[in-house]
Structure 1
C-alpha cells in the first residue's frame, strides 16, 4: 500500500536520488505533466487501485517531503506497444521519439527487475500541478 499524506495518496517519481530529484523538478517547472507506471508492479503488487480523474495526489521529493499537490487529469491503460508519442512528450524528459521512450522505459523497468514486452499494461497518468508548499 502506498503511503498517505493529509489523507491523499502519495506519488514518488523514479528511483531515489538523482533521478527522483530531476523528475520532481521537471514537475515543479511545469515541464512534466505525465508519468507511466506498470499495472502489475506498481498497482496490483502494491494492492492499490489505479488513480481516477479528479483525484489529488501528494508528490514527494527525494527526502520524502511534500513537493506539490497534483490533480489527475487523465488515466489510460495502454499496451506498452501502443503508448502514444504525445504521452511520451508530456513526460517532459526530452525523448526524441516514441522508440526512444520505449527503449528508456524498457531499460528502466528491467533495471528494477521487471522485464516487459509489447503486451505489458502501462498506466499512463496525466496530471496538473495544483500547488507547492
Structure 2
C-alpha cells in the first residue's frame, strides 16, 4: 500500500501509520477500477511502502466499506489521523486531492474506506500483500 502521492505527502502519511496515528485511508472506487485492483478484505495484511519503495510498516485490515462520498463519517475522517477539524474539512481536502490526481468526486461518488491496525510482523508466517 502506497499512501498519497510520492514525496512529502507519502512521507508524512507513512510516518503517521508507523506512529499508530493513522488507522484508516480512503480511495475512490474509480481508482481501484483504473488500477484493476481488488478491494482489500478484513484480515488481509498489507505492506505500507515509503517513498523509497521499502516496507515501512505492516498493517492488518480491520474494515472495508464502500459508501457515497457525502456519507463518509466524522469518525472515519478522524481515524485518518491527518488533523482534520471536521468532516467538511476532510471532504474539502479529499476533493482537492482527487481532483489533482485525476479522479474528481461528487457527493455520490463511491469511496472505499479501509480501516487497519499496525501489526508486529515478528513470527508472522503470512507475507504482506502489496
TM normalised by structure 2 equals 0.91
SS of residue in 2 equivalent to 1:103: helix
The aligned residue for residue 22 of structure 1 is: 12
Structure 1: 4+ residue segments shifted above 4 A: none
SS of residue in 1 equivalent to 2:37: coil
Distance 1:35 1:131 in 2: 20
SS of residue in 1 equivalent to 2:105: coil
Contact 1:36 1:124 in 2 (8 A): yes
> Which string of whole-angstrom CA distances, capped at 9 and with x for unpartnered residues, describes residues 66-98 of structure 1?
111110000010100000000000000000000
Q: Which of 53, 74, 81 does residue 70 from structure 2 map onto?
A: 81
Distance 1:84 1:91 in 2: 11
Contact 1:67 1:132 in 2 (8 A): no
SS of residue in 1 equivalent to 2:108: coil
**Runs of 5+ unmatched residues, structure 2:** 123-130
**Runs of 5+ unmatched residues, structure 1:** 1-10
Computed over aligned residues only, the root mean square deviation of the Cα atoms, in angstroms, reads 1.2
In the alignment, structure 1 residue 36 sits paired with structure 2 residue 52? no
TM normalised by structure 1 equals 0.89
* Deviation at residue 58 of structure 1 after TM alignment: 0.6
> Which string of whole-angstrom CA distances, capped at 9 and with x for unpartnered residues, describes residues 24-56 of structure 1?
000011110000001111x11111110000001
* Deviation at residue 132 of structure 1 after TM alignment: 6.6
Greater share of strand residues, 1 or 2?
Answer: 1
Distance 1:103 1:132 in 2: 35
Between the two proteins, the alignment pairs up a number of residues equal to 122
Contact 1:60 1:68 in 2 (8 A): yes
